[in-house]
Amino acid sequence: MGRRSERLSRQGALAGEAGEGDVIQVVSRAFDVLRCFEGHEARLGNLEISNRCGLPRSTVSRLTHTLTRMGQLVYLPRDQKYRIGPSAVAMSASMMKGAQLRSMIRQRLQEVAEQVPGTVGFVVPDRFHLVYLQFARSAAALGLHEGTGSRISMASTAAGAAYTAALSPEIGDALINDMEREAPEAAKILRPRIEANRQSLRERGYVTACGLWSPHINGLAVPIWSPQYQTFVVITIGLLAAMYDEQRLHAEVAPVMVGLGRSLASLVEGAEGDVFNNRISRKPVAMAVHNNNKPINSEGVNELEAGTRRARPARSLRAGDGRR
């Protein structure tokens, strides 16, 4: 791996961290355009795309033309709009192989959803948002409508709070700095809470967010390290605030989600399928566990992981022995 690629991997591939000189703006902007399409059926014109991603309409026009030629977008003459094209769909499908593992993740999410009446999700970061890769919902999960492919805010959700808190301080702060430039309202929500979120993660292994995304919804989330993505993925649950206040989240929901975190961390880090492939050599390091003064052996960090992980409970919750 070249030095530049290694640096980007170590830093979590945040565009702002590598320095503006290292970022090819046209590539970054092309992905900004694709992010505007939040579903396979979404149809957007150049003006709508321009408004959503904050780029000049002339720039958007050139980008949509190029992306259409590449098959990433399809132009609909009757509507004079674009939608996601076959190449983008094929690329997504190729990255989502490993149906058996995904089915196991989905099954375990559903088990929790049946036990705790909410929407349980497995999400991955995408710039200033997170995207659901899997989800499960109980029949009683009123008002919670996220599903596979849904995007949620990083700033105003428990999942986003857990993800940013799990990053090393320098990487998390750099992400919030980028957010202040490009999404200042989101940064205003997240920055005042980041230290409290980090403390919660250190002490409890999870983060809560009550009434932040919606006054009617309370959430709890646990981050898990993903060797494939070299960053954290998150399991999260949203519940009706009228049924689960913050005290009940800690008392009843947290133990269930922590257990789910251990279970899924084992799948994610031990799987040999196409979705999560762990080929990173590790060595044990001593680490203290909350509510247990005895140090235990946990897996250390390799060179590429050093920038985005810390040897502390936020790293992940592992199966069987409760290591973090």
The pLDDT tens digits for 206-262 are 999 998 888 889 999 999 998 767 789 999 999 989 899 999 999 999 999 999 999
- Residue 313 pLDDT > 90, yes or no? no
- The residue ranking higher by pLDDT, 273 or 259, is 259
pLDDT for residue 259 = 95
Q: Would you say 200 and 206 are in contact if contact means Cβ atoms under 8 Å apart?
A: yes
Mean pLDDT within 287-296: 35
Q: Would you say 113 and 119 are in contact if contact means Cβ atoms under 8 Å apart?
A: yes
Domains and CATH numbers, the chain: 25-91 (1.10.10.10), 96-275 (3.30.450.40)
Mean pLDDT within 53-73: 90
Q: pLDDT band at 292, cuts 50/70/90?
A: very low
For 123, the 3-state DSSP assignment is strand
What is the phi/psi pair of residue 153, to 5°?
Answer: -70, 140
- Residue 171 pLDDT > 80, yes or no? yes
Q: Would you say 201 and 223 are in contact if contact means Cβ atoms under 8 Å apart?
A: yes
Per-residue CA distances from 88 to 34, 184, 247, 264 (Å) = 9, 30, 44, 28
Q: pLDDT band at 1, cuts 50/70/90?
A: very low
**0.75 cut: is pTM over it?**
no
- Residue 316 pLDDT > 70, yes or no? no
